[in-house]
Every structure is written in structure tokens, then in C-alpha cells.
A and B are shown apart, each in its own frame.
Chain A
Amino acid sequence: MSAVFMWIKASWKLVLSALAIAQLMVMYNVQPVDGIPFGWRVDWSWMLSVWGGATLLMSPLAAAAVVALVLLNVNPEVQQGLPANVPRWKPVAHISAAVAVQGLAVQLIALGICSLVCWLCQADPRGLTLPWQLLTGPVALIAGIAVGSAVAMLIPTYWSIPGVLFALFLAHRIFFWHGWPELFTTEMATGMVTGGRPIPGFLAATTWLNVVTAVAIWSGLIFVTHRGRHRPWLALLICLVCIGGALGIYLPFVLADAWDTYEPIG
């Protein structure tokens, strides 16, 4: 825990400020209502959609931040010099955890402020889909950070910083028009969806897909970067089970050719 706290102390000026800018930028960048920006203030569901949708910028940025911090502080030369009983992935895990804590703190503070604004503006609560709307954003951020950890360990070059940022930023484009569960970044409503609410099954699938993907990436990393004789086969087994789980979550939506992510209220 102290190692994570040390990395937070060392990186908060860069990471916390960049993630806060990203969250604010996305919260601002929606249709105004009555000519006043931050239109989500009139609808709780819209607010949570934009709040979680800020992963559009936050996930790529957090992943790139992990790569930058690893290259600056524990690059492969440093990793090779670690004592044999310290796994190579351990310092990367500490950095990833530090970035994750800062990302989740930004999300928590933003949620508190936005909830206060919605409460003061007497926003419409009918479109809420709880608890899933509170979970999709944080788990997508954690999955994005896992990608950053993997890139930092497997492709340790400075090109990887903009590379992972741009790749994750554009990743949501691929299946944007489909109603399939979303990885790393979640969709958001840039305008008010009157009379509709997010489909709970879609949000639940998105949440679990990001969870099993993050676990699969990290267990795979632990297996691949292991040094010494006794391979962590349990990590490989967890990785394979999680990949299977991800396919199990994803395929029903693909086979059903799902398009809708919203359903009528009531």
C-alpha cells in the first residue's frame, strides 16, 4: 500500500490534473439546455451517462500515463535489475494501482459535484438504471489502465505513449453503431434521451466484460513476465477462463445483432 501511495505522491501533479481536465472537458462538451452549458443538469440518467462516458478521454489518458510513468521510472533496464524474488510486474502493478486510484478519485469527486448540481436543479430521475450506470465508467477506466500496463511491459518504447492513447481513443469507433457491450470506453448521450433509459442487461454486460478483460490482461501479464523455474500456471488458467468469460458475455449480443442500448421508460 505504501508503494502505491509513493507513486501517487510522485505522479499526482501530472496524472490527477490531466484526468481532471479530461473529465471536465467531456462533462462540458454536451448540448446546452436553455442556452446554458452542462445540459445534463436536468436529467440524472443523462448526467450519469456523460459522467461514465468521460472514459472516452480518461481511459486512453490513464493507459498512456501508466506507460509514461513506467518508462520514466521502471524501464526494462530497471526491471532486469530487480532481485530475483521480486516479480517484474510488481512495480508496474504499483504504478497502475496509483493511476487507478487517482482516476477513481477524479470520478468520485466529479460524481459528487454533478449529483449536487442535479439535486439543486431538481433533475428528472425517471431514466436511471442503477446500479449499473454507476459501475460502467469506473470498470472501463480500470480495464483501460490494464491495457496501459500490458503495453508498458510488452512494448516499452516512447512511441507507445501516443500509440496507446490514440488506439484506445479510436477503439470505440469500431462498433460504435452496434448495441454490443463496450470495452475500455463507454458511450454517452450528448443530448437528452427523452422517454428512454439505458438497457440494464447492456450495462451489466459492459460492466462484466471490462472486469473479466482487466483480470485476463493482468493474469496473462503475470504469466508472460514470470522469471524463474516455477511458472504461475494458475495465472494462465485464470487468464484463459476470463477470455472465455469475455467471449461468453460478448457473443450473445453479436449473434443477436443487437443495435439498441436504450429502452422506453416503463
Chain B
Amino acid sequence: MRVSTSARLWRWPVFVLVVVVAVVCVLVFRNDSMYLPGADGRRYARQFVVAWMPVLGAVLLIDPTPEITATLPRARRVYLVLRAVMTAGILVPLVLAWSLSGQPVVKALYEGSIVCALITCSIIAVSLWQASGVLMASLVSVLWLLAGDTLATVLGFADITGQAMQVSALHWVFALVSLGLAAAITLRGAGSTRWQ
């Protein structure tokens, strides 16, 4: 009883609280960074938000009563609204962070690409595998926190020293493709029988 009750009643207030905490963090620590042992460079507060918000938001998608929801005539619309609220809640603190932190545009494009990719991964994983999907999405987020600078260099968003580069058309293509994927998966869902 406790799992389904807590999930049904508390997930929305908890998610609102998580978004508020994320907004406060990016406002207070907008340009602060810390050394993360094992990582390939320093990590800014907003990068923790990039890594963790998609997973924390994805918990919203675990339906405590899928059998009941599936019988609703507007089940598809309910799930669409859930996914849309989740994506909006993730992007609000990050848009604030990117606009206030004064970081180069190329860094915002890189982090935007990553957060959209993580949103896509989280929706697919949680829709298909529920709690196991949350676990795998959490692992992907932590791996990005550890190897984010290396990935930026591989994708062409930074040079070998980790410095940001000038914005190029390729950066915009990456960001827009990633955004398009996230938008498509948010609108359509992951194709699971539980979710369609």
C-alpha cells in the first residue's frame, strides 16, 4: 500500500520540490564548481542538474496503477501530459542556468544536447523497464558526470585541454537533433504496451 500510495500522492509535490531545489541551486551556485574524484575535470552546479534532473523526472513516469490507467478513455493523453510536464520541469532550471551563468554558447549547446539525450534515454528506459530503467538511467547520468569533458572533446565541443571552442554549424546540428529526439519521444512515448 505504501509504495503505490506514496507514488500516487507524493510524486507531484516531490517533483515540484526537486525543481525548486534545482532552480535555487543554479541561482545560488551559478558559477561555482567542484572537483569530483574520478572525473575528468571540474563540475559546475548546473552540470549536476543536467545529469540528475532527467532521472529524477523519469520517476514520475512510473505508473502506480497501470491497469487502471489503461482503462481510461484518455490514457494516452494522461501519459503525454506526464511526459510533457517532466520535460518542462527539467528544462526550466537549466534554461535559467544557461542564461544567468555567462558561459560560452558552445557550452550551453553541449549541455543542452546532453540533457536532451538523457531525457530521451530516461523516458525510453523507464517506460520499458520501470524501476530497472531508473537504475540504468541513473548509471548513464553518473557516467556522464565522470567522463563529460572527454565526451565533449570527442563530439567536438571542446579541445584536448577542455577549453570551449567557437560555435560552429555542427554544434547547432547536434543540439537540434538531440532536441528533436527528446521532443519526439516526449510526444510519442517509448512504444511500450503499457504506455500506448
Contact = CB atoms under 8 A, between A and B. Distances in A.
Given A77-B3, A172-B37, A188-B38, A161 B142 contact: no
A47 B146 CA distance: 19
B2 interface: yes
Contacts of B137: 162
A68 B132 contact: yes
B59 A162 contact: yes
Contacts of B139: 18, 21-22, 57, 61, 165
What secondary structure prevails in chain B residues at the interface with A? helix
Interface stretch (A128-136, A152-160, A198-206): A152-160
A166 interface: yes
Interface residues of B, number: 33
Interface in A156-207: 156-159, 161-162, 165-166, 169, 172-173, 176, 187-188, 190
B130 to A, nearest CB: 7
B165 interface: no
Interface stretch (B6-14, B74-82, B112-120, B178-186): B6-14
Given A25-B146, A60-B142, A64-B138, A161 B131 contact: yes
B62 A158 contact: yes
Contacts of A29: 38, 40, 146-147
A26 interface: yes
Contacts of A26: 38
Nearest to A14: B132
B3 A162 contact: no
Contact of A156 (B3, B62, B143): B3
B142 A57 contact: yes
Contacts of A21: 139, 143
Interface string B108-132: 0000000000000000000000111
A251 B146 CA distance: 31
27 contacts: A18-B136, A18-B139, A22-B139, A53-B38, A56-B38, A57-B143, A57-B146, A61-B135, A61-B138, A64-B138, A68-B132, A75-B3, A77-B2, A77-B4, A157-B10, A158-B62, A161-B131, A161-B134, A161-B135, A162-B56, A162-B137, A162-B138, A165-B135, A165-B142, A173-B34, A187-B37, A188-B38
